[in-house]
Structure formats: C-alpha cells, structure tokens
Amino acid sequence: PEPGPAPEPEPTPDPTPGPQPRPPRNDYPPGCINVSRYREIDDDVASIAASIDNDIELSHFYGGVVRLAAHDFMDYDQNDDLDQMGADGCLDWMSLSNAGLSSLWNRGSDLHLIYDAKYSDLSKADFWIAAANAVVRQRSVGGEEGGLDLMNDFFWGREDRAECLGSADRLPTTVSCREVEGVFLERMGLGWRDAVALLGAHTLGRGHK
C-alpha cells in the first residue's frame, strides 16, 4: 500500500508569558486624579482654548485659568494659627483683586461646564490647579512638544470651603516690592526663585488701561 501522509509535527508550545501590564484603572474613588484623568483635564483645557478664535478672549482664558488657581492659594498664611486658608476652591468674588475671574468661572462658562460634566467629584481647588498646570505646559517654551510639565509635582486631595471672607486682603498689592516679600516669602514661606516664577504668570493674559 502507498504510504499515507506524514503526520504533522506537534505545535511548539508558546513560551511561558511574562507578567502583563495592568490595564488603566477606571474605578478610582471619587475625588481622585490618576495620570489618565490628569491628562484628560489637560486635553479639555486645550479644547476650550482651540474653540476661541479671538486673541483677546484667548489671552483672558489662558491668563484667567492661572490667575484663578493662584488667587485661590495665594491667601495662604503659614503664620495664622486660626485660619491659614490656601488652596480651598474659594475666592472673594466681590474683591477688585479678583475682577474678571467671574467671567471665567460661572455656571455658563466653558470651564465650569466641563467641570460639572466630568469632574464634579473633584474639589474645585484640585481642578483649578490641574487646569492651571495644563495652561503652563501648553504655553511654556516647547509647548505641546516639550513644555513645562508639572504632573509629577501634582498632588490631589485639597478640600473646598464655602466662605473665605477676607482672603483677597492677603493678596499682594501693587504698592511696592515689599508686598512681594511680605506675601510670598513671609506669609507663604516661599523663596525668591518661587516668587519670580509666580510673578512670571503675568506674562499670560493681557494688560488693561
């Protein structure tokens, strides 16, 4: 009889697979920010900016986001044992020091609508800081390709408060450089390098007569 077909070789078993990377978590507790969520806030800030076709309004948006976060934390006073304040999602909206910020943060503003739709479990303080970091990254030297990325310095967990009367009185005025030293160094505990960095935020936005 004619020989039958040669038997097919047994398949070689695949090598034992190594450890597989974990899929990104989507079950983080409310109020938490992981890497993907931090980047999502960055993307949303960029999307809002891309929808603004007026240079004046765009400068108001970029500068306003950073100013919103800064004026929230710049009322911090390390020497006040009763109420240090700081980043707490609360501003004195009636103060002239915060003039213009209510147009950026109100129930109908793009930034607030994004917060309500996707990030309302976060404190406003955390969201404002993450949004401001996004602006810094997008508008610093290098931009999208290599701007200043503050993600590794970001911590979440700030708590909001409903009232912060007198917070604007702690912000520096334009009287003299002594205000910078008094607020940034003596009250907030920063150094001169930090103070210069914070003052550099004024390169965003636009001036008013």
Identify the band that residue 28 occupies on the pLDDT scale cut at 50, 70 and 90. low
- The CA angle 134-138-139, to the nearest 5 degrees, is 115
Q: Torsion-angle region of residue 166: left (phi > 0), alpha (psi -120 to 50) or beta?
A: left
**Residue 138: closest CA among 54, 58, 33:** 58
CB atoms within 10 A of CB 209: 2
Per-residue pLDDT at 205: 73
pLDDT tens-place string over residues 164-185? 988 999 988 877 888 889 999 9
Higher local confidence (pLDDT), 29 or 80: 80
Residue type, 61: F
What average pLDDT does range 133-145 have in this prediction?
84
Pairwise CA distance, residues 66 & 64, whole Å:
5
Per-residue pLDDT at 27: 59
Higher local confidence (pLDDT), 148 or 78: 78
The yes-or-no verdict on residue 52 having pLDDT over 80 is: yes
Per-residue pLDDT at 15: 47
Identify the band that residue 21 occupies on the pLDDT scale cut at 50, 70 and 90. very low
56-60, 115-119, 143-147: least confident range: 143-147
| Residue-by-residue DSSP string for 144-203 | HHH----GGG--------S--TTGGGGS--SS-HHHHIIIIIIIT---HHHHHHHHGGGG
Q: Residue 76 is encoded by which pair of tokens? A: 């911090």
Say whether 131 sits in a helix, a strand or coil: helix
Identify the band that residue 130 occupies on the pLDDT scale cut at 50, 70 and 90. very high
CB atoms within 10 A of CB 141: 7
Identify the band that residue 82 occupies on the pLDDT scale cut at 50, 70 and 90. very high
